[in-house]
Amino acid sequence: MSLNRSEKEAVISDVTSLAAKAQTLVMAEYRGITVAEMTKLRSEARSKGVTLSVLKNTLARRAVAGSAFEVVGDQMTGPLIYGFSEDAVAAAKVVADFAKTNDKLVIRGGAFGGKVLDVNGVKQLANIPSKEVLLAQLLGLMQSPISRTARVLAALAEKRGGGEAAPAADAPAEAQAA
């Protein structure tokens, strides 16, 4: 069923607003996927903040014109599903994880930061840990020197008999007061 002009304009404006907010676009060929599998993919994508859309390629090209995703306009051929995400790795992760278990979903490429990603680029992007994991790793690295220093000071205090740990702790407070 074809869309009339106003419906096409509405689709283009919706996708343009998605592209304006998104950091990543992933394109995959979905030929041969059942409705149940597609529904599972869409629900998984929604839970991760990824918007999946099946669009006419000409409408998709018009929608991304002037955005960072314009660089992949020439790759928009065939039956494609477009995944947009504000999180840099979410779209790539959702599509790549689903493609691992379903060989009918074939990753075609994508774009990130105005640069074209090939299939391997999308897979590499999908292997980057999530923002929360990276923040936790960074916090662990920042806490590591502090916790080591605390353990060394505790071991010194224990070795000296524990009585001198209290004056050492008071020394910085006295230095600040002076």
**Environment class of 41 (CB within 10 Å of its CB; exposed 0-12, middle 13-18, buried 19+):** buried
Predicted confidence at residue 95, as pLDDT, reads 92
At residue 168, does pLDDT exceed 70? no
**From CA 148, how far away is CA 89, in angstroms rounded?**
33
Cβ–Cβ under 8 Å, residues 26 and 18: no
Angle between helices 35-47 and 90-101 (to 10 degrees): 150
**From CA 30, how far away is CA 161, in angstroms rounded?**
70
When pLDDT is cut at 50, 70 and 90, the band that residue 1 belongs to is low
What's the chain's length in residues?
A: 178
CB atoms within 10 A of CB 8: 15
The 10s digit of each residue's pLDDT in 71-126 is 888 888 888 999 999 888 889 999 999 999 888 889 998 998 888 888 888 888 88
The 10s digit of each residue's pLDDT in 18-62 is 888 888 999 999 988 899 999 999 999 999 889 998 888 888 888
